[in-house]
Amino acid sequence: MSEAESESRAGREEVWIEKYRPQTLDDVMGHENIVGRLKSYVSRNDLSHMLFSGPAGTGKTTCATAIARELYGDDWREHFLELNASDERGIDVVRDRIKNFARTSFGGVEYRIIFLDEADALTSDAQSALRRTMEQFSNNVRFILSCNYSSQIIDPIQSRCAVFRFSPLADDAVADEIRNIAAEEDIELTEDGLDALVYAADGDMRKAINGLQAASVSGDTVDESAVYAITSTARPEEIRTMVQSALDGDFTASRATLDRLLTEEGIAGGDIIDQLHRSIWEFDIDDEAAVRVLERIGETDYRITRGANERVQLEAMLASLAQGE
């Protein structure tokens, strides 16, 4: 790839997510049941308050904007307010921006939509104020809340919403979309590169598209090596070798693999834990050993999230497995 081509492709990266975002509900992939329910609301022009719950990159924001596009057409931005609750998480955002938008006069539509992304980041006081606001302006505003963990949303809000639970996208759906984008952008994508993107994404379409973008800038061909390097993802066989060495009692070899992943490849300890958890049932180990590994993974993950040193905790986990504990 020439320098000019590389710069041109890099300059287009920022718009790829929006460029390939589905514009209508019919374009949304991998959530046929949810799309069917949403289309019934849209066809009747009778939305209720909604709560979209699920992992990142599974289509929650896409569905919210698709609903607005189908209801309002080209003027959808005038009737759609999007706020990221993790940036504006206090009670003031409910009292000021949301109420001001709800009170603003408008014509031609029965109601407007307020989309609160990452609503589980709202403080409890803000959620209590939001509950009252949802009641006060229910005649002319519909709320769509998006969150990763619905358990973080207070019950009074959940009871006012139709709940839609988004699961991680199937590997086939991610692979199909990546193939289409690669063809559209004239990217040479190998089969092992595609498999690596699907593995690294783990059901997150946004992560898959970002990985394809980044890897496409690094060379002429997007292959397995480019994907794992650019996404800071360990190869599944490396994770398997690390765990198997520990289970075989070879702590030195297991620690050497861990050190390479942390130091040379720059993979975060939390990401290694996530890959371990994803891959444990793919290892050729018996159920007793799998249960023991999962127990240690859970304990290590808890300690890391509480602020403990990643390297120390991961080495301690491998040492425990090597000792057969």
Is 121 within any annotated ligand binding site?
A: no
Is 324 within any annotated ligand binding site?
A: no
Is 266 within any annotated ligand binding site?
A: no
Is 59 within any annotated ligand binding site?
A: yes
Is 104 within any annotated ligand binding site?
A: no
Is 60 within any annotated ligand binding site?
A: yes
**Cβ-count burial of 40 within 10 angstroms (0-12 exposed, 13-18 middle, 19+ buried)?**
exposed
Is 22 within any annotated ligand binding site?
A: no
Is 270 within any annotated ligand binding site?
A: no
Q: Which residues are annotated as a binding site?
A: 54-61
Q: Which residues are annotated as a binding site for ATP?
A: 54-61
